[in-house]
Structure 1
Amino acid sequence: MSYAPHLHAARSAAEAASALIRKAYRGQFDVQLKADASPVTEVDIAAEKVIRQTLSAAFPDHAFYGEELGRGDTDAEYLWLIDPIDGTKAFVRGYPMFSVQIALMHRGELVLGVSCAPCWNGTGETAWAEKGQGAWLDGERIHVSEIDTLAKATLSTGNIATLAASADWAKLGALIPRLHRIRGYGDFLHYHLLASGRVDAVIESDLNILDIAALTVIVREAGGTLTELGGGAIGLDTTSVLATNGRLGVW
């Protein structure tokens, strides 16, 4: 099945949200704290609204699960997963490591993703992928690296507080000396770097499906693998990630 119309709508929705975000970036906007003490801004809410409006106009029968406006029917045949500003803390503090994340789940399978970082590197960048059609970054086809030994590999870590408090912390400690480099690029960035062959693995232990749904499709279509840290399948309840170029035994 082709998801080209869905991808077109998702890219349009991401660009509409990004236009709002660019206008507000480093400006004045209202910031509130959610129940989990994470920030939410009026820009997050406005961006999610425009994403839903754009997608609903194209696919009125589809369901939504969004970071700010809540879950619809998560058992629906078509479910859009939306994080309008993944990296709100960065957005609030005025540094550009944040992105618009839009993914489509069809009958429980992630089939497309758009990851748009509107202010990154001054001009922004967008990665996207559709099941069976490869991964793309700003119009160029991208692939994971061919690095196949830990001694040549670069690992990037994201949020790892839960990992640090677990017995597996020692496992990460034992891994680090075997690597060529370790970095902490975080958020969308290390997945874009992984999918385009510039890092070789990513580990995170504190996230949710909305953070990585689109990036899961992008990494896989670029030739990589992405599972939960313990090896489980990515799903709506995912809270951790092990992503690699598919050639490394990292964990």
Structure 2
Amino acid sequence: MTDTLDKALAAARDAAGAAADIILHYWRNGVDVITKGDDTPVTVADRESELAIREILSRALPEAGIYGEEYGADDTSREWLWLVDPLDGTKSFVRRTPFFATEIALMHRGELVLGVSSAPVYGERMWAVKGRGAYLDGEQVHVADTAALSQAVISTGNVKTLTTDARWGVLGELIRESNRIRGYGDFCHYHLLARGGVDLVIESDVNILDIAALAVIVREAGGVFTQLDGGPIGLESRGVLAGTPAIHAAALARLHGATMA
């Protein structure tokens, strides 16, 4: 398995680099926007970069299935499964906001074991393999040691669903008791969490392709990355609670109390 993961990491980093070249080309030169059936935007940058990623990953690990944002899944039942969002943050991309990234993760028998998150305009590339730590451009990173909520920096992303139930009030409590609240969103607050700049991330409206690579990175940096109810991240996950061990535990206890009330 070690050899497979070595090969997979090299391929994922190469694929992220190929996607970055394509994305940066369209970032500099402009691109038309198409609205998909679910009212979300897509561009040729999304589609061309996913094709480039698929070609590299398929060549390196032909036994693995690929589940991608733009071209769907060829087979999610294989022992190895790539999870690919070629341009997570397309809405930011089309609004000329540099908070978007390429997310590439690898699952082995349902467990996330590898992640690469590449933000070419923002200037960061992070990666992690289970048991090997998390890295930012080659330098190992760790979450902060923040243990008190009064010292915590909280970042929120997509939280529309959270506004509809008792957890919204809990989020308000957490914000009032925290040191600082931010809304970095997309890949950005997970990168910050993994390298010690943020202590808790809360999102209620994501999909597995958005977060799979980031889950591996945060965990390997020493953080905790679960669903909002504390459950494990899987293909059907739609929400995230991620943080330093102590702050994640404190937030989870509050959220659990709200759902049980």
TM-score (norm 2): 0.93
Q: Which moved more, 1:169-178 or 1:98-107?
A: 169-178
User: 1:136 deviation in Å?
Assistant: 0.2
1:41 has 2:43 as partner: yes
Indicate the structure with greater helix content: 2
Give, in whole Å, the separation in 2 of the partners of 1:61 and 1:139: 28
1:46-91 CA distance string (max 9 Å, x none): 0000000011111122111000001121111110000000000111
Q: Residue 255 of structure 2 corresponds to which residue in structure 1?
A: none
Residue 31 of structure 1 deviates from its aligned partner by 1.3
Task: Tell me which residue corresponds to 1:250.
Answer: 251
Q: How many residues align?
A: 248
Q: State the secondary structure of the residue aligned to 1:35.
A: coil
1:210-221 to structure 2, matched below 5 A, reads: 210-221=209-220
Aligned match for 1:90, one of 83, 89, 92: 92
Name 1:5's counterpart in structure 2.
Answer: 7
Q: Could you list the per-position Cα deviations for residues 162-198 of structure 1 after superposition, in whole angstroms to 9, with x for gaps in the alignment?
A: 0012221111112211101110000101000000011
Distance in 1, matches of 2:251 and 2:148, equals: 9
Counterpart position of 1:24:
26
Partner of 2:258: none
The one-letter amino acid of 1:36's match is D
For each residue in 1:19-40, what CA deviation from the matched residue of structure 2 results, as whole angstroms up to 9, or x when unmatched?
Answer: 1111110423221111110000
Alignment of 1:143-222 (within 5 A): 143-222=142-221
1:99 to 98, 101, 106: 101
Aligned AA (1:85):
L
**Hey, what does 2:228 align to over in structure 1?**
229
**Alpha-carbon distance between aligned partners in 2 of 1:166 and 1:23, rounded to the nearest angstrom:** 43
Stretch deviating more after TM superposition (52-61 or 100-109): 52-61
User: Which amino acid in 2 is paired with 1:238?
Assistant: S
TM-score normalised over the length of structure 1: 0.97
Alignment gaps of 5+ in structure 2? 253-261
| 1:250 match: secondary structure | helix
Fraction of identical pairs, as percent: 56
Report if aligned partners of 1:114, 1:128 keep a CA contact under 8 Å in 2. yes
SS in structure 2 at match of 1:115: strand
State the distance in 2 between where 1:108 and 1:75 align: 9
Whichever residue aligns with residue 33 of structure 1, its letter is T
Inter-partner Cα distance in structure 1 for 2:196 and 2:149: 15
Q: Structure 1: 5+ residue runs without aligned partners?
A: none
